[in-house]
Structure 1
Amino acid sequence: MTIPPVAFRASQAVRAALSAIRRTEDLRFSPGNRLLAIAAFARKRCLLLRIDVEMRPDGPDVTIHDFMELRSDGIGEVHGLDFIDDKTLVVANRDGQLAIFALPMESMAGQHREITALRRIDGKPFCKLRTPGSVVVRRESGGRVSLLVCNNYTHLVTRHVALRWLGHRTVRNQPLLSNGLDIPDGIAISHDGEWIAVSSHGTRDVKLYRMSSSLGPKSEPVGILQDAGFPHGLRFTRDDRQILVADAGSPAVHVYERGDGWTGRRGPVRSVGVLDEETFLRGRASVEEGGPKGLDIDRSNSVVAVTCEEQALAFYPLASIVGKTMSGIEPGVAHP
């Protein structure tokens, strides 16, 4: 089953910027839901969009007001990105390091801006970053943030603890996960903070690890999401009852249900096409490519955004992907 995207409003300048982006990887909504950042891997840029998402009786309504293209010697082959807060972005460059940026928010309208990193993180001397890909931010007490990073070709997830009040200087760099991983290509943390989900490209599944103080490289995954094709971007729904997984090797997004818990093995309960056949085949350079790469759910729980080289940006109603009766939650409505 293939579902139609939400028709979003945008100027010709915004659409031209999206058309020029070429190969994309991850994308991410800001905590305040007013910005959307897209990793432009091939062009070594980040595209920042100012966006509004509203839930109307007939479904979600999306407007992209303007854009800013960010360039920097701290932005290389950017594969992953996440917001530390509404004004601070961390990017993971597969050809280099992590870099943290203060976003130039005074004016976005169609600008191409050269910016300088607030902080660069390489993990030295005990936990050197190598081919960093996807990154996810975990906000902690005392002004600390943990940056969990997929080191793609060393098959390792690392943790880098930064202090905001020290200009995001890292005070801890450590290996976190490796057991069961073969090219970790996407990462997400559940909203309750109890689970880490990691896409494992080489094993063609998603590993789930329970968050604990004893978590380390030898910790075994306690849950495995099977039949994911070539999993890439992934996100927990806001109630943590589902995980959505973008399959780079097919036109689909797969939906997995928690049920009584995330332990054990399970297949998807639903797979939904988000690319038409022509678009998918145009990007089908190998069995591992052509499908969606980046995936995120907006903070209002209304839309799912996906990206890939052949379709730089598309939005889909969350309800049409998870199924209204499946989630037990209405998009756009806050639940505890």
Structure 2
Amino acid sequence: MGRKTFKRSRSHFTDRITADGADGWPVEADRYRLVISRACPWASRAAISRRLLGLEGALSLAITDPLQDDRSWRFTLDPGGKDPVLGIRFLHEAYDARESEYPGGVSVPAIVDVPSGRLVTNDYQQLTLDLATEWTGLHRPGAPELYPEKLRDEIDEVMEGVYEDLNNGVYRSGFATGQEEHERAYGDVFRRLDLLSERLAGRRYLVGETITEADIRLFVTLVRFDAVYHGHFKCNRSKISEDPVLWAYARDLYQTPGFGDTVDFDHIKRHYYGVHTGINPTGIVPAGPDLAGWLTPHHRDQLGGRPFGDGTPPGPVPAGEEVPADHRP
């Protein structure tokens, strides 16, 4: 009997929150709660988008413990171990409120309807696109266009390759149960990284002159690469910090408001090394790597480009949402 190849589960709850409420979920300020883990790259996309678009005052944020257990993501970081808005201890409670005896996995990001306590969506691929395009009435003044209509075809094409080979490729490498499976995924990861390095050598951002959804989706993998994917997922041909182009690009984004201020390296490391016991049975979390380099000059501004286009940077991180000082460089 052949070994199973890692295959990412599709989102089960794909309702959309839209301006016209076509799926029964209209965009409304203070109605929904975004649940994330700072460890998870898919959830980090949503955290970055929310910051860049200035939706903090309209869409509240719940942050889970990086170490979930067999009862799902848990709210042990909050007083009493309960989310203060939803009043639940585990995210599966919102899933159960939506569909009793739901048999699938409980994933983040998730958006929960606060009045009913029901999960609305866990569709990580569509969620951030809707934040950028359907929630415009609640965007802050000066919010950037993260999914501009005239660039969508190119953005979609770039994002598809990044997802298949890199975002998901590192997982296919790390969870491979056979040598050939691992080597195929490993090859995809570094082939895509090489292509991205070539693309970014003469341009500041992936598509156009400003930050777009494509940059967010690439960043969340790059920022985790040296800390967890290089060793834990056996993607060890080279580190991002050893590629001058990708390392400068990643630092440029990290130092841009809305990106690095959402990154919690402690949560990232403790989750991957502590939860994936099949890969790391000892549960030991490596002491490294040294994070100081993330704050060094990148000089990418010499390539031109305007991070926020005609807009402005987001304001300070809201009180209570700051990443602890000892969890960042």
Normalising by structure 1, we get a TM-score of: 0.33
Q: Larger % of strand: which?
A: 1
Q: Normalising by the residue count of structure 2, what TM-score does the alignment of the two structures yield?
A: 0.33
